[in-house]
């Protein structure tokens, strides 16, 4: 899963207040070149959207559940076809519950202590959160004592800044409302932003990003 997330380069976060177009949004993202998506489980319609995406998208789509805070939600995410569970916080027991369900944990951490706790509990991916206010230099500093850690900076990261984070050592970047608004706008605009993200990822992978 780490290799798959690294290859994807970005995780599109679908934190929507209206899920009627959830599958259409996910399809637009996938067709624009973004393979990894997280449907946040803080809305009652989110599980249905995740199931719909699993049925609609090809098998290489990396679908996960977000805002996971309880073992019950982990069970629900697994039943809906999630491959990973994203949390806003670090909870060792929750990380173990995700692993026990056969899924990949992606806990949120904002301090060195939280990063260490997440890694010691078995997490192989760590969501640096909130990454926007913390900034790229903060992640670089964490990569000193936590060299090689697969950080996924999330929270306040703009879709035009993906290349900067990847060049600084991020495994991938989590993109929320800047990419997919809570009330999704025109699908063509979402696709255009996703395509811009895909271009940055490709440039970094080729070593041609500025």
Residues tagged active-site: 38, 127
| 3 state SS of 192 | helix
DSSP β-bridge partners for residue 66 = 40
Counted residue by residue, the chain has a size of 210
The pairing of beta strand 125-128 with beta strand 10-14:
unpaired
Burial tier of 89 (Cβ tally within 10 Å: 0-12, 13-18, 19+): middle
Instruction: Label residues 162-172 b or e (16+ Cβ within 10 Å = b).
Output: bbbbbeebbbb
Longest dimension (CA), the chain: 44
| 3 state SS of 140 | helix
Q: Determine the Cα angle at 177 with ends 148 and 202, to 5°.
A: 50
Compute the distance between CA of residue 117 and CA of residue 175 in angstroms, rounded to an integer: 24
């Amino acid at each position: 899963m780490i290799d798959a997330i690294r290859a994807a380069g970005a995780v599109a976060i679908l934190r929507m207040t209206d899920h009627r177009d959830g599958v259409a949004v996910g399809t637009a993202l996938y067709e624009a070149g973004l393979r990894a998506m997280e449907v946040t489980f803080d809305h009652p319609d989110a599980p249905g959207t995740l199931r719909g995406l699993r049925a609609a998208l090809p098998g290489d789509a990396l679908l996960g559940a977000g805002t996971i805070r309880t073992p019950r939600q982990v069970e629900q995410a697994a039943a809906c076809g999630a491959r990973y569970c994203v949390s806003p916080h670090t909870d060792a027991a929750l990380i173990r519950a995700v692993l026990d369900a056969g899924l990949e944990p992606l806990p949120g951490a904002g301090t060195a202590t939280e990063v260490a706790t997440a890694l010691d509990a078995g997490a192989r991916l760590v969501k640096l959160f909130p990454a926007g206010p913390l900034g790229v230099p903060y992640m670089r500093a964490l990569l000193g004592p936590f060299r090689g850690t697969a950080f996924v900076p999330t929270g306040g990261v703009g879709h035009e800044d993906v290349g900067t984070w990847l060049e600084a050592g991020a495994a991938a970047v989590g993109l929320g409302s800047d990419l997919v608004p809570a009330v999704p706008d025109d699908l063509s605009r979402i696709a255009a932003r996703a395509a811009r993200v895909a271009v940055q990822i490709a440039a970094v992978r080729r070593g041609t990003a500025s």
